[in-house]
Amino acid sequence: MKTTRFNLLGGAGLCLLLSTPGAEAAIADGAAHAIPTDTHSGASGELFLNVWDPVAAKSYSLDLGVTAEEFLLDASGRVWHLDPRFKALAAAGNPLRFNIAANNTYGGIAAPGVGAAPSGWGFAITALNDPVSLGLLMELNDKSASLAVSQISAAIQTRVDHLNLNAAAANGLTPGDFTTMTDFAANLSETTDATDDAYGAYFDYLWGIDIAGNFGFSTAATVRDADGAKDQKLRFFFLGLKAPGVNKLKTTDLGGGTAFFSLNPANATLLWSHGGRGDNLTPVAVPGPAMKVEPGATVVLDGSASYDPDYSGDLGYAWTQVSGPAVTLGSGAGPAKAVFVAGQAGDTYLFQLAVTDAGGRIGKAYKRVVVPNHRPVAVIHGPATVAPGGTVNLDGGTSYDPDAGDGIVAYQWVQIAGPATGLSGSALPTLGFTAGAKGSVYQFSLVVTDNHGLASVQKKIRIKAQ
């Protein structure tokens, strides 16, 4: 069963606290060079995400916290929950372009199926899932490894170095020589405005489309396109040596033709999904929060915030009643909605929302709807003073229930103080008694109960004979 592999919820502050003294957070660039001061030489390169909003001229990047080595050895499904910086970028609602890359030319691993030992020598890069881009990419098979690496690998390394500088600045570190940035456990993000790009980290058209240089295939996909086109997905490839000592490339689809990267701006997730290997992720049913409604109100149940994390197709929606007084669920304005008419005060309903994706996976969640039963209100009309021997009339008949259609079904009088009248415990709406001698003080309370058995707050009255 597939599980979520990573959960990167904007933890930059925590990561910085864990940084070692003198080290700065960085994406490992997988460089093969051995510069004495470059302490991150000889480390597997890390995957990193780039997102571009061409309308707002802003970009975002994130260290994905998984090395090329780890991914080559285990390319099972993963989902990343993106941080508040991404959410802020996506909030504008503009189309977004994205890609993923990792360099790994230090040559320190051997992963089966991706080329000659050390097969980890090369780079990982996304390609738009369309015939043109895929065809151009596959043409690199048997081409000079040196040529491809000199262009694509160098571009990835340069991109990483610039992102590291900008991420350091964005997260409160002191940008300096990128070769001193060694804390690869701190998976930081950064955002860049095209008008303020001190470290060259802006994801522009050249990076997003032409990272592959003269080879021409597109490494970026577009989501939430303005023309309403379906969100694009990315395939993920590793380009490494074809054989030991052979300066030719072997191009390997790490998803076997069935796995894709997809970006969901609405839910701030990046997904690597093996749809063709039975790894279809369960869709997420989002029925919305519990509701309180008035008696007789038309209630709209809305599941339109539900989503399919791996974009396997349009969702199917089904609302069913689980408990509560039976209601008739009608169709709402759209397939995700259902409507019903609430009953009387005190009714509580529980509904289930089931969403089904194109692969038949079903996600379920529940929503409670309550028609609150408000307490009735006890009201007493009567004098505050009375002449000795005079008649006192106390009237609770105007007590009321604020809920439409409900009423008072019981009265309970209690004499709290004063000479005995014999009226304590009366269940009538009104009371009458004769006052005693001058100076006598009487106190009564009234509690009323509605037709649902809910009692009011005690109401008191004080009468003095004078």
List, as one string, the DSSP characters of 184-242: TT---EEEEETTB-TTS----HHHHHHTTGGG-----EEES-TT-PPPP-EEEEEEEEE
Residues 324 and 439 in one domain: no
Last residue of a domain, one of 370, 396, 424: 370
Residue 320 located in a structural domain = yes
Q: What angle do CA 178, 182, 187 make, to 5 degrees?
A: 100
Domain count, the chain: 3
Cβ atoms of 370 and 340 within 8 Å: the answer is no
97-135 per-position pLDDT tens digit: 999 999 887 666 666 666 655 666 788 999 988 888 888
Residues 317 and 201 in one domain: no
Residue 259 located in a structural domain = yes
Distance CA 377, CA 450 (A): 9
- Map tokens 């491809």 to a residue: 148
CATH number of the domain that residue 447 is part of: 2.60.40.10
The number of C-alpha atoms within 13 Å of 91 and in the hemisphere containing its C-beta is 7
| 3-class DSSP assignment, residue 444 | strand
Distance CA 373, CA 116 (A): 73
Amino acid 334: pLDDT: 83
Cβ atoms of 201 and 59 within 8 Å: the answer is yes
Structure tokens at 173: 């570190």
Residues 418 and 320 in one domain: no
Amino acid 15: pLDDT: 27
Residue 29 located in a structural domain = yes
Residues 190 and 68 in one domain: yes
Residue 220 Cα to chain centre, angstroms: 24
Residue 375 located in a structural domain = no
Mean pLDDT by 10 residues, the chain (466 residues): 29 27 56 51 80 93 87 84 94 94 76 63 87 88 79 84 82 62 67 87 70 76 79 89 80 86 89 63 89 92 86 82 95 90 92 89 93 92 95 95 88 94 90 93 95 91 95
Residues 20 and 154 in one domain: yes
Residue 282 located in a structural domain = no
Residue 376 located in a structural domain = no
Residues 306 and 398 in one domain: no
Residues 201 and 270 in one domain: yes
Last residue of a domain, one of 277, 311, 328: 277
Residues 170 and 303 in one domain: no
Residue 283 located in a structural domain = no
Residues 160 and 35 in one domain: yes
308-366 per-position pLDDT tens digit: 776 655 789 999 999 999 999 998 888 999 999 999 888 999 999 999 987 788 999 99
Residues 221 and 333 in one domain: no
Amino acid 20: pLDDT: 30
Where b means 16+ CB within 10 Å and e means fewer, 230-253 reads ebbbbbbbbbbbbeeeeebbbbbb
Amino acid 257: pLDDT: 82
Query: Which residues span the domain enclosing 340?
Result: 291-370
Residues 87 and 189 in one domain: yes
Residues 299 and 436 in one domain: no
Q: What is the dihedral of CA 288, 293, 299, 304, to 10 degrees?
A: -10
Distance CA 392, CA 444 (A): 12
Last residue of a domain, one of 277, 302, 317: 277
Residue 443 Cα to chain centre, angstroms: 58
Residue 5 located in a structural domain = no
Distance CA 184, CA 30 (A): 12
Q: What burial class does residue 361 get, using C-beta atoms within 10 Å of its C-beta: 0-12 exposed, 13-18 middle, 19+ buried? A: middle
